[in-house]
Amino acid sequence: MFVMTNVFVDCLRIDGSIRCPGDGGFSDVIVFGRHVRLRKDHPAIELMGRLDELEAMAEWGIAEIGGEEFRNVAAMATALNTYLATGDDAWLKPVKDLINKVCEIDSKDLGWFIPRDRKTALLNLLRVKAREAERAAVKLMDDPELPSNKVRELLGMLNQLNKYIAHLVFLNNVVVFRNVNEKIGALMGLVSNHETTTFI
């Protein structure tokens, strides 16, 4: 038996084969402050993955484009994932602070939209990923072992995170349409007398 180091520190090499925790489809994790063993398709594990994906994509935005918006989204995703693990309300403070701050800024017109640059397109992708995380979190309500008050608080923060990112999208470079028909027409090049024909 050989004990590994680096990222394989919790794995063992036995008779030429590597064995790691989690190989059998279960993960030992902490959820709302409790150590639990869950199948990897459990909603809590799925939500951790969705928030991890949101954080990673925001950090990609930091590397590729830069800017406060991407740093804030990455920080919020990290804080919410840490809240999911610990159940400590202190981790919600940076999320609430950022949401309260952006709510004071008026956005442009609202409606169906198309991003006009890479930054806004990536923010829109982050919005979609935040919505995926929220949908995954809703499944936590079906687990009677989880504290319902913590689940509700997390759901509220995820819903507001989605609105926060959508607000950032509208504050950036978008073309806004009055209805979905106008948007589809612009995407298909059917609108000839509107500025949206030059949205790309």
Q: Exposure string (b/e) for 142-179, b if CB count within 10 Å is 16 or more?
A: eeeebeeebbeebeebbebbbebbbbbbbbbebbbbee
- Distance set, CA 183 to CA 98, 111, 173 (Å): 31, 10, 15
Report helix, strand or coil for 57.
helix
Q: Which residues pair with 39 in a beta bridge?
A: 26
Please give the Cα distance from 28 to 140 (Å, whole number). 17
Please give the Cα distance from 48 to 38 (Å, whole number). 12
* Global confidence as pTM: 0.84
Domains, the chain, in order of start with CATH, read 2-198 (1.20.1200.10)
Please give the Cα distance from 129 to 124 (Å, whole number). 9
Q: What is the mean pLDDT of residues 140-158?
A: 95
Give the model confidence (pLDDT) of 47-91 as tens digits: 999 999 999 999 999 999 999 999 999 999 999 999 999 999 999
Confidence of residue 14 (pLDDT cuts 50, 70, 90): confident
pLDDT at 190: 57
Give the model confidence (pLDDT) of 80-114 as tens digits: 999 999 999 999 999 999 888 887 777 667 888 99
